[in-house]
Chains A and B, each alone.
Chain A
Amino acid sequence: QSVLTQPPSVSGAPGQRITISCTGSSSNIGAGFDVHWYQQVPGTAPKLLIYGNTNRPSGVPDRFSGSKSGTSASLTITGLQAEDEADYYCQSYDSNLTGSKVFGGGTKLTVL
């Protein structure tokens, strides 16, 4: 069971907007620790998508955006494209688990 909770799956049609939630607690997201998001195409390594809740690394399209409020964070993808079909993971830091970087269980995005 993951420390951060994500929906197992989401889906959307090309061009639509989808949101993936990441729910934590007072020892991680709620404690003010940053949330980061990764995209993982099956068979490949995860790729950093969003860091520090809202920041995009160079090369990541602005269709991807992140937000954080209270004990939760969200990843939003607008203008959905077929190439966005992948697994998405949130990640943060948990103060109850000394030094631990914690991941969500992952969300499978299907582009219909």
Chain B
Amino acid sequence: QVQLLESGPRLVKPSQTLSLTCTVSGDSFRSGHYFWSWIRQPAGKGLQWIGRVSSSGSTSYNPSLKSRVTMSGDTSKNQFSLTLTSVTAADTAVYYCARGDINWYYFDYWGQGTLVTVSS
């Protein structure tokens, strides 16, 4: 059974950098059939795709966040990560990591989500 688990600081100060890691179990980050994404959801609002990283290291980001986002993968640890710079209160959200199908572009496995609050 594929499982994803987000980890990282739950509280980040404004203007600082948000960093999260997603640990994959039951599958290999090296799998060429999938890409690995971060998706976020502010309280009471909808889902926003942040970006994706593939096993080859190629990335694609939401244009609205592109200037502040970096994603990378670590095949030795079966993990991938998210870095979001210059955060503001608007970046407060539940952050999910998810596995995406490279052919259909759907997300079939999701982490439980982690609430990250931006506050001083």
Q: Per-position contact with A for B22-52: 1 when CB-CB < 8 Å, else 0? A: 0000000000000001000000001111001
Closest A residue to B107 using CB positions: A48
Bound Cα distance from A37 to B111, whole angstroms: 17
Known A33-B105, A34-B104, A91-B106: A98·B46 in contact at CB below 8 Å = no
- Which B residues lie within 8 Å of A57 (CB)? 108
Residue B7 is within 8 A (CB to CB) of chain A in the complex: no
Q: Select one of B46, B61, B104, B113 contacting A105, CB under 8 A.
A: B46
Q: Does B80 make an interface contact (CB < 8 A)?
A: no
Q: Using a Cβ–Cβ cut-off of 8 Å, how many residues does chain B contribute to the interface with A?
A: 22
Q: Which residues on B sit within 8 Å (CB–CB) of A92?
A: 105
Partner of A100, one of B46, B49, B100, B104: B49
A26-58 interface bits toward B, Cβ cutoff 8 Å, 1 = contact, 0 = none: 000000011010100000111110011000010
Cβ of B120 to closest chain A Cβ, rounded Å: 27
The answer to whether B48 and A103 have CB atoms under 8 Å apart is yes
Q: Which residues of A contact B46 (CB under 8 A)?
A: 2, 89, 103-106
Q: Given A45-B96, A98-B63, A101-B100, answer yes or no on A34-B106 (Cβ-Cβ < 8 Å).
A: yes
Those 8 A-B pairs whose CB atoms lie nearest each other, nearest first: A99-B60, A36-B106, A45-B110, A51-B106, A103-B47, A101-B49, A106-B46, A105-B46
